[in-house]
Structure 1
Amino acid sequence: MMKSHTFLRFATMGLLAILVSPKLQAEGQTKDSLLYEVNTRTVLGTGNWAPFLTAANAYDRHSITANNLSVWGILKKPLRQKPFVDYGFGAEVDLNLSPDEQRLFPGELYAEAKVWRFALTAGMKRAVYGNQDPLLSSGGILWSTNARPMPRLSIESMGYIPVPLTTKLIEVKGGLIHGWFSDETVTANTLLHYKYAGIRLGGRWPVRVNYTLHHAVQWAGDSPVYGSLPFTWANYKRVLLGRSGDSNSPDTEKFNTLGNHIISKNLGLELSFPSVIMEMYWQNIYEDRPVHYMYKTYNWEDGLFGFTLRFPHQKALSRFVAEFVSTTDQSGPWHDLDGVIYGGQDGYYTNGVYPNGWTYYGMTLGNPWLTSPRYNANYEQGEVGLKNNRIRLYHVAGQGTIKGVSYKAELAYSENYGITWGPIVRKDQFSWLLDTAMPCPFLPNTDMTAGFAGDLGRQYGNNLAIMAGLRWHGALTW
């Protein structure tokens, strides 16, 4: 297993060296840009935690402690759309300081190359997967923006690609990703397999429908309970196709699928009018032999249901989102009953072979309202699994600009019922956030940010905080 890891890491380093070569840049095309930022944000609050919305869906950039300072710097060259061949790279360094913790880590570090409408990426790059609103969503059911990106090798389409001979009425997209869980997991050296394929119908029509199937797997590694879970090409094929493990696999993976499989089906409807664009979306989740039995849809009640309203001609309110998330059904209370029920007690984001579950550096990879283990009282002592994965969430958010001041506002009410197999103890929570930004009148290329946020309830307690910061930014163009 270590030999395979060594090979892949050397391959990644070699690819990074190739990708940053400026020879890949197409000459005579649109101008290139190098973007840079330096940001600071201070949170001063009362309570046991920083208000939930100050740290959720921020790629783990901010501390969850009540009083903290965040400093981060960004350097990035984006891929351009027009050149047939192009290259890009990005780096971000994040610093968190608080009385309870000090953290310094790379928020991003990647290089990428583009050929036609496909991108090859190596490293840690932020991305939004799923049809949820990319700016204001509470978080996708499989992927959100809650955890920092993990190291990966990926090949993906750059958005939808029209199918030839369909007058652009049919478009498709897809991607294949191999990643590393590089945090200190109980099962060390865990790998990620992720792929997705989607279709969109409608082209430039005012009504469009999209459907995407996402398939993610935690697999391989070294378990203190089950021993070595080897990375081999035979096992990779089993993971790719959703097949059971061989005779050397843990018992649960001999009868189930090899690895911790999570599947999400995304369905969306887009309606375009002169004054408003409406997008409705639904996401479901499957964790029991997902490839074989997902068509049975035992847990159809669970998932993310939402809509976005975009107002292209309004500034005061340019975007509005409303969502409902439910994860309380989990295919019912019975698991694999007499070969009749192929599901039940799904235990979203948890797994026996991979005790850290669907998390990265203690932050939930999926919807963050399924509480990240970093909120566990004994997280530092090894309590690294989710303790709250049965929830109902009602979430609304909006953003816009009023008299030169841009804002983002969020309101959320959550019902929290604990872990799948634990006692049902309901804990309600109300959370809110208002974040604003405006140009600094006495510093060029600088924005001032300010806001306040709070929690009220039993899940995260009663927390209140004010936020203030600065953002200095610019671009070099050639």
Structure 2
Amino acid sequence: MHMVKFRLIIILIIGYSSIYAQETVHDSINSVTHSLNIESGVLISAKSELPFWVRGNNSQRFKQGSANSVYQILHYNGNYQPIKNIALKWELESLLNIRERIDGRIIQANLSIESKLIRIRGGYDEEFFGLNDSTLSIGNLVYGNNASPIPKVSISTNGWQRSPLFGNHLSFQAYLAHGWFEQNRFQSGAFLHQKYLYLRVKAFNSRLSIIGGLNHNAQWGGANATNESSQPTGIKNYLRILMGSSGGSDANLSDQNNALGNHLGSYDLRGTHEFRHFFLSSYWQFLWEDKSGLTPFNWRDGLMGASIDFKNNGLINKVVIEIIRTNDQDADKVSDDGLSFLEPDNFLNNNTYQSGWTYLDNVIGNPVFLLIHPDSDDFRSRVKNMVNGLNVSIGGNLKGLSYSITYRKFKNAGTRYESIEPGLDVRSAIIYLSIPTIHGSFGIRGEYDWSNWLGKNFGFQCQYRVDLSSIFRKGN
């Protein structure tokens, strides 16, 4: 009930301030602009759980128990430009889900300051990483939107920045963030370290674009209440995390021999060529885990994708095909004396950070990496990470109606330490339709799943989105 009252107050404040700003401020500098969107919808399922991809990759807006419920999402953005080329921005997104009881949650809440070159942001923010297709992809493997946004502070370039020497022929994007994991986990209060650097080369009158870079994530610090131990922190150890260096004498033996903390990430590559009627793209995401996994031997594990993006806004606008394979993990090694032994990189699991690559008991990476038993004590197999998957998706328009049709399947075979036979197989057929309205849009999404693990399920989501800020402007 308190969340309902809070949302009503926020709507009234934003609505009044939007009208007031439109009436009293006309200068482009020192002006305040507002964007307020409300989405109302219903979630229907044949079973008591939602279909797999309705809840997956959705920043935990909808959870497994959200089936057969109604919901409302309030999404507000504000922008204030105090001086030329400097902008203050803020964002708030909240959700109400009503089934047997009212569940109210904040999804996003952040504040940023940005110029043409730099953006500084703090709070809870739904971010999209990597070089995958932006609309029809199955999602980033390492840092996707399967879990709720993690609180963090970040500094990044504001989009692509041209190099001083080569102009548009060479540009770059960079990102650095510090975040905080929750307290209630095996390594309580651990820190999140994130960074990436991408370089983009354009040639042949910008018809050819090649992007490559490194995405690096790490868990570090934190305390273990079970054995009353803690992992080293401070500036000196932060620099070790930043550089991926080995731990000092205050670190555990494993981190002294390898790298301080739990490191994981990906090499990302993308190539795009512009033809007369379409863009053809191919992209790769190669996974790595800790310092030993940075070698090219691991480049068999990851995601490979291709897309065709047609220039005309016709019946078919885009086609995307993606393949996932994470079975190898550089597991079969040979010792100095010639003996073979098993030591997989074991994606998303760690012997020190035994809660794994999770936040609030949800995998941070792609939902195809399964967390079946969140309370499991087997840290080596907590996140099931051996996956073969396929994503085929088509999107387009038909007389004002936007649509996408997707087929996805994946088989999760457990881990190299604990295999699952037969593998957990999930196949999904998804269709999404969207019709524009005067002040928003109406959409319907249907999904049919068949699985040897979850059984068969069918569900759909009906949603109506309205842009209240456009109504305020029109009324003014």
TM-score in terms of structure 1 length? 0.85
Partner letter of residue 74 of structure 1?
A: H
Find the aligned partners of 2:105 and 2:375 in 1 and give their Cα distance. 18
Deviation, structure 1 residue 319? 2.2
Computing the radius of gyration from Cα coordinates, the structure with the larger value is 2
1:97–1:187 distance in 2 versus 1, CA, 3 Å:
farther
Find the aligned partners of 1:167 and 1:413 in 2 and give their Cα distance. 43
Q: Is the 8 A contact 2:387 2:410 kept in 1?
A: yes
Q: Is 1:355 paired with 2:354?
A: yes
1:222–1:454 distance in 2 versus 1, CA, 3 Å:
same
Deviation, structure 1 residue 31? 7.4
Find the aligned partners of 1:162 and 1:262 in 2 and give their Cα distance. 29
Which residue of the partner structure matches residue 9 of structure 2?
none
Find the aligned partners of 1:392 and 1:408 in 2 and give their Cα distance. 23
Residues 223-273 of structure 1: CA deviation (Å, up to 9, x unaligned):
134512242111111111111222222232222211110131111101112
Deviation, structure 1 residue 459? 3.3
1:143–1:335 distance in 2 versus 1, CA, 3 Å:
farther
Find the aligned partners of 2:239 and 2:162 in 1 and give their Cα distance. 30
Q: Is the 8 A contact 1:33 1:475 kept in 2?
A: no
1:381–1:27 distance in 2 versus 1, CA, 3 Å:
farther
Find the aligned partners of 2:213 and 2:341 in 1 and give their Cα distance. 24
Which residue of the partner structure matches residue 283 of structure 2?
281
2:288 aligned counterpart, secondary structure: coil
Which residue of the partner structure matches residue 17 of structure 1?
none
Q: Is the 8 A contact 2:262 2:290 kept in 1?
A: no
Find the aligned partners of 2:30 and 2:399 in 1 and give their Cα distance. 33
* Aligned 1:288-437 pairs, distance under 5 A: 288-290=290-292, 294=294, 296-334=295-333, 344-371=343-370, 373=371, 376=372, 378-379=373-374, 386-425=382-421, 426-437=423-434
Deviation, structure 1 residue 284? 0.6
Q: Is the 8 A contact 1:41 1:69 kept in 2?
A: yes
Partner letter of residue 148 of structure 2?
A: R
**Comparing 169-178 with 429-438, which one deviates more in the overlay?**
429-438
Partner letter of residue 327 of structure 1?
A: T
Q: Is 1:123 paired with 2:123?
A: yes
Find the aligned partners of 1:143 and 1:194 in 2 and give their Cα distance. 10
* Aligned 1:34-433 pairs, distance under 5 A: 34-47=34-47, 49-65=49-65, 66-77=67-78, 84-98=85-99, 103-182=103-182, 184-202=184-202, 204-225=205-226, 227-290=229-292, 294=294, 296-334=295-333, 344-371=343-370, 373=371, 376=372, 378-379=373-374, 386-425=382-421, 426-433=423-430
Find the aligned partners of 1:323 and 1:208 in 2 and give their Cα distance. 20
Find the aligned partners of 2:54 and 2:190 in 1 and give their Cα distance. 29
Q: Is the 8 A contact 2:348 2:383 kept in 1?
A: no
**Comparing 378-387 with 466-475, which one deviates more in the overlay?**
378-387
Residues 75-120 of structure 1: CA deviation (Å, up to 9, x unaligned):
013689x952111110001233445x86432111011011232101
1:201–1:439 distance in 2 versus 1, CA, 3 Å:
closer
Deviation, structure 1 residue 340? 9.2
Find the aligned partners of 1:446 and 1:282 in 2 and give their Cα distance. 35
Q: Is the 8 A contact 1:111 1:121 kept in 2?
A: yes
Find the aligned partners of 1:165 and 1:252 in 2 and give their Cα distance. 43
TM-score in terms of structure 2 length? 0.85
Q: CA RMSD in A?
A: 3.0
Find the aligned partners of 1:419 and 1:70 in 2 and give their Cα distance. 37
Is the strand fraction higher in 1 or 2?
2
1:437–1:422 distance in 2 versus 1, CA, 3 Å:
same
Which residue of the partner structure matches residue 461 of structure 2?
467
Q: Is 1:454 paired with 2:448?
A: yes
Q: Is the 8 A contact 1:47 1:461 kept in 2?
A: no
Q: Is the 8 A contact 1:392 1:414 kept in 2?
A: yes
Find the aligned partners of 1:158 and 1:222 in 2 and give their Cα distance. 35
1:394–1:31 distance in 2 versus 1, CA, 3 Å:
farther
1:219–1:246 distance in 2 versus 1, CA, 3 Å:
same
Deviation, structure 1 residue 64? 2.0
* Aligned 1:5-16 pairs, distance under 5 A: none
**Comparing 418-427 with 87-96, which one deviates more in the overlay?**
418-427
Count residues with an aligned counterpart. Answer: 443
Partner letter of residue 123 of structure 1?
A: G
Q: Is the 8 A contact 1:288 1:343 kept in 2?
A: no
Q: Is the 8 A contact 2:57 2:367 kept in 1?
A: yes
1:352–1:94 distance in 2 versus 1, CA, 3 Å:
farther
1:202 aligned counterpart, secondary structure: strand
Partner letter of residue 403 of structure 2?
A: Y
Deviation, structure 1 residue 48? 5.5
Q: Is the 8 A contact 1:176 1:196 kept in 2?
A: yes
Partner letter of residue 463 of structure 2?
A: G
Partner letter of residue 297 of structure 1?
A: P
1:168–1:26 distance in 2 versus 1, CA, 3 Å:
farther
Residues 45-76 of structure 1: CA deviation (Å, up to 9, x unaligned):
12363111111221111122343433211001
Find the aligned partners of 1:336 and 1:400 in 2 and give their Cα distance. 54
Residue segments in structure 1 that go unaligned for 5+ positions in a row: 1-21
Deviation, structure 1 residue 424? 3.8
* Aligned 1:12-31 pairs, distance under 5 A: 28=28
Find the aligned partners of 1:26 and 1:239 in 2 and give their Cα distance. 48
2:311 aligned counterpart, secondary structure: coil
**Comparing 466-475 with 214-223, which one deviates more in the overlay?**
466-475
Find the aligned partners of 2:34 and 2:200 in 1 and give their Cα distance. 33
1:148–1:337 distance in 2 versus 1, CA, 3 Å:
farther
Q: Is the 8 A contact 1:112 1:122 kept in 2?
A: yes
Identity over aligned residues, as a percent? 23
Residues 381-404 of structure 1: CA deviation (Å, up to 9, x unaligned):
889974421110110122222222
